[in-house]
Structure 1
Amino acid sequence: MTLPRGARLAVDVGAVRVGVAASDPDGLIATPVETLARDTSARRTDLAALVTEVTERQVAVVYVGLPMHLSGKEGAASAAARAYAAELAALVSPVEVRLVDERMSTVSAHQALHAAGRAGRKHRSVVDQVAAVVILQSALDHERSRGARAGELVA
């Protein structure tokens, strides 16, 4: 099965920041886009910015990282990510929003930044973007190997 062409977007949702990454229309490679400030006010500027990205890039699917414990169980951060993904899905419909396991994405992001010679104290400004890249690249690899979208569809 061949998946429809279109860029993919990945979102790493944190309590303070939201990392964003995108792919090319063929879903070959994930690249960092930006780090948004998490806006819990009624304005929800972070969600508005994501809707703009989805529209401008003609995104086919949005992957939202689902933080899980190493045991595979979900906790409070998982519930927050699920709620965020549901809000986003309502705003970008009919574009699919899917939750993907993001265990170790932030750890991998810190390791990649350290390997690139970036000082630990300077990671904060970009680690969420890099984590989003890790999430998206994992989803793209899944798509290529299985011929199907990764993760759980948000209803």
Structure 2
Amino acid sequence: MPRILAIDYGSKNMGIAVSDALGMTAQPLVTYKRISFERDIEYVSRLASEYSVEKIVMGLPVHLDGRESDSSRSARDFGERLTASAGAGVEYFDERMTTSVIDRMLIEEADVSRAKRKKVRDKLAAVLILQNYLDSKAITDDNTL
């Protein structure tokens, strides 16, 4: 089964995760420090090729009431350019509260320091986005049997 790549898109960093070969679990890859729009596209496209990615799930940062934000539009712009470059379809997935959930988990359950949280927050947010996406697809697939 082809893999799925997920991106927690931010203005300074992108967290990136990939599904396992069965498409059941999300694995953290990297927190990528953004350089420029073009270089960022090239980097993610290389990862998509390296992992034989069929689809890219972009976390879509929306307001709590569901309205899209400037960050949402920026993520969509990136996704559109990525589709052309990576040769993989891009799907957008609501990422509301993912960073907050990750921070809470790292503080309350793992007692991770602020400096260490900063290093892993984005890639773990990408893992959460991808795992939520995979779980939602599994539920949908189960209901259509």
Amino acid at match of 1:91: S
Structure 2 unaligned spans of 5+? none
Displacement of 1:40: 2.3
TM-score (norm 1): 0.86
Quick one: percent identity of the two aligned structures? 33
Equivalenced residue count is: 141
CA distance in 1, matches of 2:54, 2:47: 11
Match of 1:40 in 2: 36
Tell me how far 1:46 sits from its aligned partner.
2.2
Residue of structure 1 in register with 2:7 after alignment: 11
Deviations 1:73-118 (A, max 9, x none): 011111111111111111112x211111000111111122222221
Name the structure 1 match of 2:98. Answer: 105
Q: In structure 1, what is the equivalent of residue 116 of structure 2?
A: 122
Structure 1 residue ranges, 4+ long, deviating more than 2 angstroms after superposition: none
Question: Are 1:64 and 1:85, in contact at CA under 8 Å, matched by a contact in 2?
Answer: yes
Unaligned 5+ runs, structure 1: 149-155
Determine the structure 2 residue equivalent to 1:131.
125
Q: Which structure is higher in helix share?
A: 2
Match of 2:140 among 122, 141, 146: 146
Q: Structure 2 length normalisation: TM-score? A: 0.91
